[in-house]
């Protein structure tokens, strides 16, 4: 299978490239990093020319602006990068009858349901990042019927720049830790997510999927487990509410995702605690 992979320099994109390369011809594109092609997906004509040149069997689209606070400070850019650019891909792939897989987020939901969100629950984003991802979802659903929309949450990956590294680094620096207790979702290991996506695209079962490591947890509990597993069991963490943590973007409070669609075809990710242990073990041997 010939696969066009956007965001190939990012954490999830790079992991997808590694896992797919043995069995598929993967053409990785991004605006930076060491990739096969460079393209600005917000430019429709450049994107159309790229897809025509590559002539892929499927397009995987994890490319996104994932800085939620940055999105809150510049919502127009968020909409352009995460929404409009996705609409470009949807239109181009639809005309060529090419399937499209899009990575979305738990933040398309408002967090008011107080139970895990299923694939058929109605999105209602409450911040610019969530709105931009929902815009992308709608653009695909309205234009390309051969789509996979994969929602995930709280990704952690090797290479730094995520919650696990931030908590561990703060503890090692002796900083006072204050972590939100009333934000709840599913921590998800990018290696596990990439493996699930690799399986999903072989099914040709189009639709919406919630692919997350099993189980929901608060930010505080997640941080506590990170420290307990990395030699900082005695390091205290002050519990705070999400309203006490000042930031440009306020995330939804309770957005665990329930995986019904994936589980129905045999695609399930392991519990988040097991995934965290595997991640930390791999970090120690890297």
pLDDT of 136 reads: 98
Domains detected in the chain: 2-157+187-213+255-269 (3.40.50.720)
pLDDT in the model for residue 161? 80
Across the chain, which has 286 residues, the per-10-residue mean pLDDT values are 96 96 94 88 96 97 96 98 97 98 98 96 98 98 97 93 93 95 97 98 97 98 97 95 90 97 98 97 76
CA distances to 74, 195, 277 from 270, in Å: 36, 11, 11
The confidence score (pLDDT) of residue 286 equals 42
- Percent pLDDT > 70 in the chain is 99
Amino acid 145: pLDDT: 97
**CA–CA separation, 103 and 32 (whole Å):** 19
How far apart (Å, rounded) are the C-alpha atoms in residues 261 and 264?
5
Nearest to 61 by CA among 36, 34, 81, 33: 81
Q: Distance between CA 30 and CA 36 in Å, rounded?
A: 8
pLDDT digits (tens, 9 = 90+) for 8-29: 999 999 999 999 999 999 999 9
| Per-residue pLDDT, 127 | 97
What pLDDT, on the 0 to 100 scale, is given for residue 285? Answer: 52
Query: pTM value?
Result: 0.96
CA distance to 83, 213, 224, 282, per residue, from 229 (Å) = 38, 18, 9, 13
DSSP string, 222-238: HHHHHHHHTT-TT--EE
**β-strand 184-185 against 217-218: which pairing, if any?**
antiparallel
């Amino acid at each position: 299978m010939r696969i066009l992979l956007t965001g190939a320099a990012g954490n999830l994109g790079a992991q997808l490239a590694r896992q797919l390369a043995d069995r598929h011809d993967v053409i990785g594109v991004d605006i930076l990093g060491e990739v096969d092609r460079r393209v600005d997906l917000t430019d429709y004509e450049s994107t159309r020319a790229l897809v025509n040149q590559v002539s892929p069997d499927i397009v995987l689209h994890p490319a996104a602006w994932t800085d939620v606070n940055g999105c809150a400070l510049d919502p127009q850019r968020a909409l352009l990068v995460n929404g409009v650019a996705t609409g470009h891909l949807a239109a181009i792939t639809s005309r060529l009858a090419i399937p499209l897989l899009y990575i979305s987020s738990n933040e398309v939901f408002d967090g008011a349901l107080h139970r895990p969100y299923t694939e058929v629950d109605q999105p209602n984003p409450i911040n610019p990042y969530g709105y931009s991802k929902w815009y992308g979802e709608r653009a695909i659903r309205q234009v390309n019927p051969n789509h996979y929309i994969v929602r995930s949450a709280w990704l952690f990956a090797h290479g730094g720049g995520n919650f696990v590294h931030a908590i561990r680094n703060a503890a090692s620096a002796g900083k006072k830790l204050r972590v939100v207790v009333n934000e709840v979702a599913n921590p998800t290991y990018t290696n596990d997510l990439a493996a699930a996506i690799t399986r999903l695209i072989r099914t040709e079962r189009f639709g919406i999927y919630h692919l997350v490591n099993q189980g929901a947890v608060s930010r505080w509990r997640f941080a506590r487990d990170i420290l307990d597993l990395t030699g900082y069991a005695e390091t205290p963490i002050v519990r705070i509410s999400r309203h006490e943590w000042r930031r440009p973007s306020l995330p939804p409070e309770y957005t665990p995702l329930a995986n019904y669609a994936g589980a129905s075809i045999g695609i399930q990710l392991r519990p988040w605690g097991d995934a965290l242990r595997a991640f930390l073990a791999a970090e120690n041997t890297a």
